[in-house]
Protein backbone atom coordinates (compact mmCIF):
# COMPACT_ATOMS: atom_id res chain seq x y z
CA UNK A 1 0.00 0.00 0.00
CA UNK A 2 2.72 2.47 0.99
CA UNK A 3 6.29 2.08 -0.14
CA UNK A 4 8.86 4.60 1.00
CA UNK A 5 12.39 4.34 -0.33
CA UNK A 6 15.36 6.31 0.91
CA UNK A 7 13.32 9.35 1.90
CA UNK A 8 15.28 12.48 2.81
CA UNK A 9 13.77 15.79 3.82
CA UNK A 10 15.59 19.00 4.68
CA UNK A 11 14.33 22.42 5.65
CA UNK A 12 17.18 24.60 4.51
CA UNK A 13 20.27 23.17 6.17
CA UNK A 14 18.26 21.30 8.74
CA UNK A 15 18.04 17.63 7.81
CA UNK A 16 14.76 16.39 9.28
CA UNK A 17 14.51 12.95 7.72
CA UNK A 18 17.47 10.81 6.81
CA UNK A 19 17.17 7.78 4.59
CA UNK A 20 13.82 6.41 5.71
CA UNK A 21 12.63 3.28 3.97
CA UNK A 22 9.54 1.37 4.92
CA UNK A 23 6.81 -0.72 3.39
CA UNK A 24 3.28 -0.79 4.73
CA UNK A 25 0.82 -3.42 3.63
CA UNK A 26 -2.86 -3.08 2.93
CA UNK A 27 -4.87 -3.15 6.17
CA UNK A 28 -1.86 -2.63 8.37
CA UNK A 29 -2.00 -0.23 11.30
CA UNK A 30 1.36 1.37 11.97
CA UNK A 31 2.15 3.69 14.84
CA UNK A 32 4.95 6.20 14.45
CA UNK A 33 6.45 7.24 17.75
CA UNK A 34 9.47 9.19 18.87
CA UNK A 35 10.52 12.26 20.81
CA UNK A 36 9.39 15.70 19.64
CA UNK A 37 11.53 16.96 16.81
CA UNK A 38 12.26 13.43 15.66
CA UNK A 39 10.64 14.10 12.27
CA UNK A 40 7.61 11.87 12.71
CA UNK A 41 5.07 14.50 11.64
CA UNK A 42 7.23 15.51 8.69
CA UNK A 43 7.45 11.85 7.71
CA UNK A 44 3.66 11.56 7.75
CA UNK A 45 3.20 14.80 5.81
CA UNK A 46 5.58 13.56 3.13
CA UNK A 47 3.25 10.67 2.41
CA UNK A 48 0.56 12.93 0.95
CA UNK A 49 3.12 15.46 -0.21
CA UNK A 50 2.09 18.24 2.15
CA UNK A 51 5.87 18.31 2.45
CA UNK A 52 7.89 17.74 -0.68
CA UNK A 53 10.62 15.15 -0.13
CA UNK A 54 14.14 16.36 -0.83
CA UNK A 55 15.11 12.93 -2.11
CA UNK A 56 13.66 9.46 -2.33
CA UNK A 57 10.58 7.76 -3.64
CA UNK A 58 7.11 7.38 -2.20
CA UNK A 59 4.58 5.06 -3.77
CA UNK A 60 1.02 4.94 -2.44
CA UNK A 61 -1.49 2.45 -3.85
CA UNK A 62 0.83 1.85 -6.83
CA UNK A 63 1.00 5.57 -7.66
CA UNK A 64 4.48 7.05 -7.57
CA UNK A 65 3.90 10.36 -5.80
CA UNK A 66 7.45 11.55 -6.32
CA UNK A 67 7.18 11.17 -10.10
CA UNK A 68 6.87 14.68 -11.55
CA UNK A 69 4.16 13.51 -13.94
CA UNK A 70 1.86 12.34 -11.15
CA UNK A 71 -1.19 14.50 -10.49
CA UNK A 72 -0.70 14.97 -6.77
CA UNK A 73 -4.07 16.64 -6.20
CA UNK A 74 -5.77 13.61 -7.70
CA UNK A 75 -3.64 11.19 -5.69
CA UNK A 76 -4.50 12.97 -2.43
CA UNK A 77 -8.18 12.08 -2.87
CA UNK A 78 -7.28 8.54 -1.89
CA UNK A 79 -5.20 9.51 1.14
CA UNK A 80 -7.23 10.66 4.12
CA UNK A 81 -5.56 12.88 6.68
CA UNK A 82 -6.49 13.84 10.22
CA UNK A 83 -4.66 16.76 11.84
CA UNK A 84 -3.76 17.53 15.41
CA UNK A 85 -5.81 20.73 15.29
CA UNK A 86 -8.74 19.29 13.30
CA UNK A 87 -8.84 22.06 10.67
CA UNK A 88 -12.56 21.72 10.09
CA UNK A 89 -14.00 24.35 7.74
CA UNK A 90 -15.51 26.81 10.24
CA UNK A 91 -17.95 28.43 7.81
CA UNK A 92 -19.59 25.12 6.91
CA UNK A 93 -21.89 22.97 9.02
CA UNK A 94 -20.77 19.53 10.17
CA UNK A 95 -22.63 17.81 7.34
CA UNK A 96 -21.34 20.34 4.79
CA UNK A 97 -17.81 19.65 6.00
CA UNK A 98 -18.40 15.98 5.17
CA UNK A 99 -20.08 16.49 1.82
CA UNK A 100 -17.91 19.31 0.47
CA UNK A 101 -15.07 17.29 -1.02
CA UNK A 102 -17.25 14.42 -2.35
CA UNK A 103 -19.48 17.01 -4.06
CA UNK A 104 -16.79 19.27 -5.45
CA UNK A 105 -13.95 16.85 -6.05
CA UNK A 106 -15.61 13.51 -6.75
CA UNK A 107 -18.71 15.21 -8.14
CA UNK A 108 -21.20 12.72 -6.78
CA UNK A 109 -24.83 13.81 -6.38
CA UNK A 110 -25.92 15.82 -3.34
CA UNK A 111 -28.37 13.13 -2.27
CA UNK A 112 -25.67 10.48 -2.36
CA UNK A 113 -23.12 12.70 -0.59
CA UNK A 114 -25.57 13.54 2.17
CA UNK A 115 -26.63 9.95 2.62
CA UNK A 116 -23.01 8.87 2.96
CA UNK A 117 -22.24 11.83 5.19
CA UNK A 118 -25.06 10.99 7.55
CA UNK A 119 -23.99 7.35 7.69
CA UNK A 120 -20.47 8.45 8.61
CA UNK A 121 -21.76 10.80 11.29
CA UNK A 122 -23.66 7.92 12.77
CA UNK A 123 -20.52 5.81 12.67
CA UNK A 124 -18.60 8.41 14.70
CA UNK A 125 -21.59 8.92 16.99
CA UNK A 126 -22.52 12.47 15.99
CA UNK A 127 -25.78 12.09 14.09
CA UNK A 128 -27.40 14.85 16.11
CA UNK A 129 -24.74 17.41 15.13
CA UNK A 130 -25.24 17.48 11.37
CA UNK A 131 -26.43 21.10 11.30
CA UNK A 132 -24.09 22.42 13.98
CA UNK A 133 -21.11 24.61 13.14
CA UNK A 134 -17.67 23.37 14.21
CA UNK A 135 -17.24 26.20 16.73
CA UNK A 136 -20.03 24.73 18.85
CA UNK A 137 -18.37 21.31 19.16
CA UNK A 138 -15.97 20.02 21.78
CA UNK A 139 -12.46 19.02 20.77
CA UNK A 140 -13.30 15.33 20.75
CA UNK A 141 -16.37 15.93 18.61
CA UNK A 142 -14.38 18.09 16.20
CA UNK A 143 -11.81 15.38 15.76
CA UNK A 144 -14.47 12.76 15.15
CA UNK A 145 -16.02 15.01 12.49
CA UNK A 146 -12.55 15.46 10.98
CA UNK A 147 -12.14 11.69 10.78
CA UNK A 148 -15.56 11.35 9.17
CA UNK A 149 -14.69 14.13 6.70
CA UNK A 150 -11.58 12.26 5.61
CA UNK A 151 -13.52 8.99 5.34
CA UNK A 152 -16.15 10.65 3.17
CA UNK A 153 -13.67 10.58 0.29
CA UNK A 154 -13.43 6.80 0.72
CA UNK A 155 -9.65 6.80 1.00
CA UNK A 156 -7.40 3.80 0.60
CA UNK A 157 -5.44 4.77 3.65
CA UNK A 158 -5.64 7.19 6.54
CA UNK A 159 -2.88 9.33 8.02
CA UNK A 160 -3.27 10.59 11.58
CA UNK A 161 -0.99 13.37 12.79
CA UNK A 162 -1.13 13.31 16.58
CA UNK A 163 -4.93 13.18 16.53
CA UNK A 164 -5.39 13.31 20.30
CA UNK A 165 -2.61 15.68 21.31
CA UNK A 166 -4.78 18.80 21.31
CA UNK A 167 -7.61 17.20 23.27
CA UNK A 168 -8.60 17.44 26.90
CA UNK A 169 -7.81 14.12 28.60
CA UNK A 170 -11.43 13.09 28.99
CA UNK A 171 -11.98 13.34 25.23
CA UNK A 172 -9.08 11.21 24.13
CA UNK A 173 -10.95 7.95 24.49
CA UNK A 174 -13.88 8.84 22.25
CA UNK A 175 -11.45 9.62 19.42
CA UNK A 176 -9.32 6.54 20.02
CA UNK A 177 -12.46 4.39 20.02
CA UNK A 178 -13.37 5.67 16.57
CA UNK A 179 -9.83 4.96 15.37
CA UNK A 180 -9.90 1.50 16.89
CA UNK A 181 -13.16 0.78 15.14
CA UNK A 182 -11.62 1.98 11.90
CA UNK A 183 -8.59 -0.23 12.37
CA UNK A 184 -10.83 -3.24 12.94
CA UNK A 185 -12.69 -2.50 9.74
CA UNK A 186 -9.45 -3.13 7.84
CA UNK A 187 -8.38 0.42 7.04
CA UNK A 188 -4.69 0.95 6.38
CA UNK A 189 -3.57 3.48 8.98
CA UNK A 190 -0.40 5.37 9.72
CA UNK A 191 -0.67 7.06 13.11
CA UNK A 192 1.77 9.51 14.65
CA UNK A 193 0.88 9.37 18.30
CA UNK A 194 1.90 9.88 21.90
CA UNK A 195 -0.78 7.44 23.02
CA UNK A 196 1.32 4.41 23.87
CA UNK A 197 -1.84 2.55 24.86
CA UNK A 198 -3.14 2.87 21.34
CA UNK A 199 0.21 1.90 19.84
CA UNK A 200 0.38 -1.13 22.06
CA UNK A 201 -3.19 -2.37 21.65
CA UNK A 202 -4.23 -1.42 18.16
CA UNK A 203 -1.12 -1.14 16.05
CA UNK A 204 0.25 -4.07 14.11
CA UNK A 205 3.63 -2.45 14.03
CA UNK A 206 5.47 0.36 15.74
CA UNK A 207 8.18 2.42 14.15
CA UNK A 208 10.45 4.54 16.26
CA UNK A 209 12.07 7.67 14.86
CA UNK A 210 14.73 9.79 16.49
CA UNK A 211 16.58 12.74 15.00
CA UNK A 212 15.27 11.93 11.56
CA UNK A 213 16.43 8.34 11.58
CA UNK A 214 14.30 5.23 11.65
CA UNK A 215 15.89 3.61 14.68
CA UNK A 216 13.72 0.62 15.29
CA UNK A 217 10.58 -1.06 14.09
CA UNK A 218 8.72 -4.07 15.26
CA UNK A 219 5.62 -5.68 16.57
CA UNK A 220 4.28 -3.58 19.52
CA UNK A 221 4.58 -6.24 22.19
CA UNK A 222 8.24 -6.85 21.43
CA UNK A 223 9.01 -3.18 20.98
CA UNK A 224 7.51 -2.04 24.25
CA UNK A 225 8.74 -4.94 26.39
CA UNK A 226 12.07 -5.47 24.83
CA UNK A 227 13.34 -2.52 22.81
CA UNK A 228 16.60 -3.25 21.03
CA UNK A 229 18.17 0.16 20.65
CA UNK A 230 19.41 2.35 23.48
CA UNK A 231 17.54 5.34 22.14
CA UNK A 232 14.22 3.51 22.17
CA UNK A 233 14.94 2.23 25.69
CA UNK A 234 15.78 5.72 26.80
CA UNK A 235 12.60 7.14 25.21
CA UNK A 236 10.34 4.48 26.71
CA UNK A 237 11.91 4.94 30.14
CA UNK A 238 11.00 8.60 30.02
CA UNK A 239 7.38 8.20 29.05
CA UNK A 240 6.17 4.96 30.58
CA UNK B 1 -27.14 84.93 10.16
CA UNK B 2 -28.89 85.18 6.87
CA UNK B 3 -29.93 81.64 6.12
CA UNK B 4 -32.82 81.21 3.71
CA UNK B 5 -33.65 77.60 3.04
CA UNK B 6 -36.67 78.44 0.92
CA UNK B 7 -34.35 79.62 -1.86
CA UNK B 8 -32.92 76.16 -2.54
CA UNK B 9 -36.33 74.49 -2.69
CA UNK B 10 -36.68 74.78 -6.52
CA UNK B 11 -33.25 73.19 -6.87
CA UNK B 12 -33.90 70.22 -4.62
CA UNK B 13 -34.96 67.83 -7.42
CA UNK B 14 -31.84 68.84 -9.37
CA UNK B 15 -29.61 68.04 -6.41
CA UNK B 16 -31.43 64.82 -5.54
CA UNK B 17 -30.83 63.61 -9.07
CA UNK B 18 -27.15 63.81 -8.20
CA UNK B 19 -27.60 60.93 -5.76
CA UNK B 20 -28.25 58.56 -8.61
CA UNK B 21 -25.46 60.05 -10.74
CA UNK B 22 -22.98 59.61 -7.90
CA UNK B 23 -24.25 56.16 -6.93
CA UNK B 24 -24.05 54.97 -10.52
CA UNK B 25 -20.33 55.36 -10.92
CA UNK B 26 -19.54 54.66 -7.26
CA UNK B 27 -21.23 51.26 -7.46
CA UNK B 28 -19.57 50.40 -10.76
CA UNK B 29 -16.21 51.56 -9.36
CA UNK B 30 -16.60 49.51 -6.18
CA UNK B 31 -17.45 46.34 -8.10
CA UNK B 32 -14.72 46.97 -10.66
CA UNK B 33 -12.17 47.77 -7.95
CA UNK B 34 -13.16 44.74 -5.91
CA UNK B 35 -12.77 42.32 -8.82
CA UNK B 36 -9.41 43.74 -9.93
CA UNK B 37 -8.32 43.92 -6.28
CA UNK B 38 -9.13 40.25 -5.72
CA UNK B 39 -7.15 39.27 -8.79
CA UNK B 40 -4.21 41.40 -7.66
CA UNK B 41 -4.36 39.83 -4.20
CA UNK B 42 -4.22 36.36 -5.76
CA UNK B 43 -1.20 37.50 -7.80
CA UNK B 44 0.46 38.71 -4.61
CA UNK B 45 0.09 35.42 -2.75
CA UNK B 46 0.68 33.28 -5.84
CA UNK B 47 3.89 31.56 -6.79
CA UNK B 48 4.46 33.31 -10.14
CA UNK B 49 7.11 35.96 -9.65
CA UNK B 50 6.28 38.22 -12.64
CA UNK B 51 2.64 38.48 -11.51
CA UNK B 52 3.72 39.20 -7.96
CA UNK B 53 6.03 41.92 -9.14
CA UNK B 54 3.34 43.41 -11.36
CA UNK B 55 0.84 43.53 -8.50
CA UNK B 56 3.37 45.14 -6.16
CA UNK B 57 4.39 47.83 -8.65
CA UNK B 58 0.74 48.47 -9.50
CA UNK B 59 -0.16 48.94 -5.86
CA UNK B 60 2.75 51.21 -5.13
CA UNK B 61 1.92 53.44 -8.12
CA UNK B 62 -1.77 53.82 -7.39
CA UNK B 63 -1.23 54.30 -3.66
CA UNK B 64 1.73 56.56 -4.19
CA UNK B 65 0.10 59.26 -6.30
CA UNK B 66 -2.90 61.54 -5.66
CA UNK B 67 -6.26 60.25 -6.82
CA UNK B 68 -7.07 63.58 -8.43
CA UNK B 69 -3.90 63.32 -10.50
CA UNK B 70 -4.87 59.83 -11.68
CA UNK B 71 -8.29 61.14 -12.64
CA UNK B 72 -6.78 64.04 -14.59
CA UNK B 73 -4.36 61.75 -16.39
CA UNK B 74 -7.16 59.45 -17.48
CA UNK B 75 -9.56 62.23 -18.45
CA UNK B 76 -7.19 64.81 -19.93
CA UNK B 77 -3.92 63.12 -20.81
CA UNK B 78 -5.14 59.85 -22.29
CA UNK B 79 -7.18 61.56 -25.06
CA UNK B 80 -4.10 63.58 -25.99
CA UNK B 81 -2.17 60.35 -26.37
CA UNK B 82 -4.75 58.19 -28.11
CA UNK B 83 -7.18 60.62 -29.66
CA UNK B 84 -10.02 58.75 -27.96
CA UNK B 85 -12.52 61.17 -26.46
CA UNK B 86 -13.11 59.53 -23.11
CA UNK B 87 -16.37 60.27 -21.29
CA UNK B 88 -16.36 61.65 -17.74
CA UNK B 89 -18.21 58.55 -16.56
CA UNK B 90 -15.67 56.12 -17.98
CA UNK B 91 -12.79 58.23 -16.67
CA UNK B 92 -14.33 58.29 -13.23
CA UNK B 93 -14.95 54.54 -13.16
CA UNK B 94 -11.42 53.82 -14.36
CA UNK B 95 -9.74 56.21 -11.94
CA UNK B 96 -11.75 55.19 -8.89
CA UNK B 97 -11.86 51.51 -9.77
CA UNK B 98 -8.15 51.16 -10.49
CA UNK B 99 -7.22 53.24 -7.47
CA UNK B 100 -9.53 51.35 -5.15
CA UNK B 101 -8.28 47.99 -6.42
CA UNK B 102 -4.80 48.83 -5.13
CA UNK B 103 -6.15 49.29 -1.60
CA UNK B 104 -8.57 46.38 -1.84
CA UNK B 105 -5.80 44.04 -2.99
CA UNK B 106 -3.79 44.83 0.15
CA UNK B 107 -6.84 44.28 2.36
CA UNK B 108 -7.66 40.95 0.72
CA UNK B 109 -4.04 39.81 0.75
CA UNK B 110 -3.90 40.45 4.48
CA UNK B 111 -7.21 38.64 4.92
CA UNK B 112 -6.01 35.58 3.04
CA UNK B 113 -2.75 35.39 4.98
CA UNK B 114 -4.72 35.59 8.21
CA UNK B 115 -6.67 32.41 7.41
CA UNK B 116 -5.15 29.50 9.30
CA UNK B 117 -2.66 27.59 7.16
CA UNK B 118 -4.33 24.40 8.35
CA UNK B 119 -7.36 25.27 6.23
CA UNK B 120 -5.23 25.12 3.11
CA UNK B 121 -3.68 21.86 4.23
CA UNK B 122 -7.02 20.30 5.07
CA UNK B 123 -8.37 21.23 1.65
CA UNK B 124 -5.22 19.98 -0.08
CA UNK B 125 -5.36 16.71 1.84
CA UNK B 126 -8.91 16.18 0.57
CA UNK B 127 -7.71 16.58 -3.00
CA UNK B 128 -9.42 19.94 -3.55
CA UNK B 129 -7.82 21.81 -6.49
CA UNK B 130 -6.26 25.24 -5.76
CA UNK B 131 -8.89 27.33 -7.54
CA UNK B 132 -11.78 25.59 -5.86
CA UNK B 133 -10.07 25.79 -2.49
CA UNK B 134 -9.60 29.55 -2.86
CA UNK B 135 -13.20 30.16 -3.91
CA UNK B 136 -14.96 27.86 -1.43
CA UNK B 137 -12.70 27.64 1.60
CA UNK B 138 -10.15 30.45 1.85
CA UNK B 139 -11.86 33.53 0.39
CA UNK B 140 -15.13 33.20 2.36
CA UNK B 141 -13.12 33.06 5.60
CA UNK B 142 -10.84 35.88 4.50
CA UNK B 143 -13.79 38.08 3.53
CA UNK B 144 -15.36 37.66 6.90
CA UNK B 145 -12.23 38.90 8.64
CA UNK B 146 -11.69 41.87 6.37
CA UNK B 147 -15.26 43.08 6.05
CA UNK B 148 -14.79 46.10 8.35
CA UNK B 149 -11.64 47.17 6.46
CA UNK B 150 -13.38 46.62 3.14
CA UNK B 151 -16.39 48.65 4.27
CA UNK B 152 -14.02 51.44 5.23
CA UNK B 153 -12.57 51.43 1.73
CA UNK B 154 -16.04 51.58 0.15
CA UNK B 155 -17.01 54.47 2.39
CA UNK B 156 -13.85 56.35 1.49
CA UNK B 157 -14.54 55.76 -2.18
CA UNK B 158 -18.09 57.06 -1.84
CA UNK B 159 -16.90 60.30 -0.28
CA UNK B 160 -13.83 60.77 -2.46
CA UNK B 161 -16.11 60.38 -5.46
CA UNK B 162 -16.78 64.12 -5.04
CA UNK B 163 -13.45 64.65 -6.78
CA UNK B 164 -15.13 63.97 -10.14
CA UNK B 165 -16.73 67.38 -9.81
CA UNK B 166 -13.35 68.67 -11.01
CA UNK B 167 -13.81 67.13 -14.45
CA UNK B 168 -17.25 68.64 -14.87
CA UNK B 169 -19.17 65.47 -14.10
CA UNK B 170 -22.55 66.48 -12.70
CA UNK B 171 -22.42 64.43 -9.52
CA UNK B 172 -23.88 65.34 -6.17
CA UNK B 173 -20.99 67.61 -5.25
CA UNK B 174 -20.95 69.43 -8.56
CA UNK B 175 -24.69 70.02 -8.34
CA UNK B 176 -24.27 71.61 -4.93
CA UNK B 177 -21.69 73.98 -6.39
CA UNK B 178 -23.86 74.78 -9.40
CA UNK B 179 -26.80 75.69 -7.18
CA UNK B 180 -24.52 77.76 -4.96
CA UNK B 181 -23.25 79.68 -7.98
CA UNK B 182 -26.76 80.29 -9.25
CA UNK B 183 -28.07 81.62 -5.96
CA UNK B 184 -24.91 83.35 -4.75
CA UNK B 185 -25.58 81.41 -1.56
CA UNK B 186 -23.34 78.46 -0.81
CA UNK B 187 -24.14 77.45 2.71
CA UNK B 188 -27.58 75.94 2.14
CA UNK B 189 -26.85 73.83 -0.97
CA UNK B 190 -23.49 72.62 0.34
CA UNK B 191 -24.98 71.64 3.66
CA UNK B 192 -27.79 69.93 1.81
CA UNK B 193 -25.50 67.73 -0.30
CA UNK B 194 -23.33 67.16 2.77
CA UNK B 195 -26.32 65.64 4.54
CA UNK B 196 -26.98 63.44 1.53
CA UNK B 197 -23.39 62.14 1.51
CA UNK B 198 -23.67 61.42 5.19
CA UNK B 199 -26.94 59.56 4.62
CA UNK B 200 -25.36 57.48 1.86
CA UNK B 201 -22.46 56.51 4.09
CA UNK B 202 -24.85 55.61 6.91
CA UNK B 203 -26.76 53.29 4.60
CA UNK B 204 -23.48 51.72 3.52
CA UNK B 205 -22.38 51.21 7.13
CA UNK B 206 -25.66 49.57 8.04
CA UNK B 207 -25.39 47.32 5.02
CA UNK B 208 -21.90 46.32 6.15
CA UNK B 209 -23.11 45.51 9.66
CA UNK B 210 -25.89 43.39 8.24
CA UNK B 211 -23.53 41.41 6.01
CA UNK B 212 -21.12 41.01 8.92
CA UNK B 213 -23.88 39.53 11.07
CA UNK B 214 -24.87 37.13 8.31
CA UNK B 215 -21.31 35.96 7.78
CA UNK B 216 -20.67 35.30 11.43
CA UNK B 217 -23.22 32.50 11.64
CA UNK B 218 -20.47 29.93 12.15
CA UNK B 219 -19.11 31.57 15.32
Residue pLDDT, tens place only, B73-130:
999 988 888 888 899 999 999 999 999 999 999 999 999 999 999 999 999 999 999 9
B119 in contact with A, Cβ within 8 Å: yes
**pLDDT > 70: what percent of chain A?**
100
Taking 70 as the threshold, does the pLDDT of residue A19 lie above it?
Answer: yes
Taking 70 as the threshold, does the pLDDT of residue B1 lie above it?
Answer: no
Contact A73 B127 (CB under 8 A): yes
Quick check: helix, strand or coil at residue A66?
coil
Taking 90 as the threshold, does the pLDDT of residue A100 lie above it?
Answer: yes
Q: In A, residues 168-207, which contact B (CB 8 Å cutoff)?
A: none
Contact B118 A85 (CB under 8 A): yes
Taking 80 as the threshold, does the pLDDT of residue B218 lie above it?
Answer: no
Fold of B15-218: MetI-like fold (1.10.3720)
CATH of domain A2-237: 3.40.50.300
**Rounded to whole angstroms, what are the CA distances from B36 to B68, B89, B94, B101, B219?**
20, 18, 11, 6, 30
**pLDDT > 90: what percent of chain A?**
89
Q: Determine contact, residues A226/A195, Cβ cutoff 8 Å.
A: no
Contact B118 A77 (CB under 8 A): no
A79 in contact with B, Cβ within 8 Å: yes
- pLDDT range class, residue B219, cuts 50, 70, 90: low
A208 in contact with B, Cβ within 8 Å: no
Q: What is the pLDDT of residue B56?
A: 96
Q: Where are the beta strands (DSSP E) in A61-173?
A: 63-64, 79-82, 157-161
User: How far is residue A2's CA from residue A218's CA, in Å, rounded to a whole number?
Assistant: 17
More confident residue, B218 or A133: A133
A73 to chain B: which residues are within 8 Å by CB?
Answer: 124, 127-130
Q: What is the pLDDT of residue A240?
A: 74
- pLDDT range class, residue A156, cuts 50, 70, 90: very high
Taking 90 as the threshold, does the pLDDT of residue A151 lie above it?
Answer: yes
Among residues A220, A217, A181, A188, the alpha carbon closest in space to that of A22 is found at A217
Q: What is the mean pLDDT of residues A190-209?
A: 92
Q: What is the mean pLDDT of residues A59-67?
A: 90
Q: What is the pLDDT of residue B5?
A: 86
B130 to chain A: which residues are within 8 Å by CB?
Answer: 73
In chain A, domain spans? 2-237
Among B114, B124, B125, B212, the strongest candidate for a mutation testing the A interface, having the largest count of A CBs within 10 A, is B125
Average pLDDT score, chain B: 92
Average pLDDT score, chain A: 93
Amino acid sequence: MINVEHLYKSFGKNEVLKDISIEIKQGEVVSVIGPSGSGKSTFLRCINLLETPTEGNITVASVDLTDKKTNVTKAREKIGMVFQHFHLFPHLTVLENLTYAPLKVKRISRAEAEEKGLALLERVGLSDKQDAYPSSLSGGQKQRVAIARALAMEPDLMLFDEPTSALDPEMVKEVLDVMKDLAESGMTMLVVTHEMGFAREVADRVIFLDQGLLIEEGEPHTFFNNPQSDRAKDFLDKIL
Amino acid sequence: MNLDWSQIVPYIPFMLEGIWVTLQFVIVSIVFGFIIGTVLALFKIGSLKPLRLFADVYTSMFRGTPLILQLMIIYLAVPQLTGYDISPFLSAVLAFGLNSSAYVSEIIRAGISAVDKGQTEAAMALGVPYRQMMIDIILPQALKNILPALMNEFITLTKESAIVSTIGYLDLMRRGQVVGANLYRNFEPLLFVGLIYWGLVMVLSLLGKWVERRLSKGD
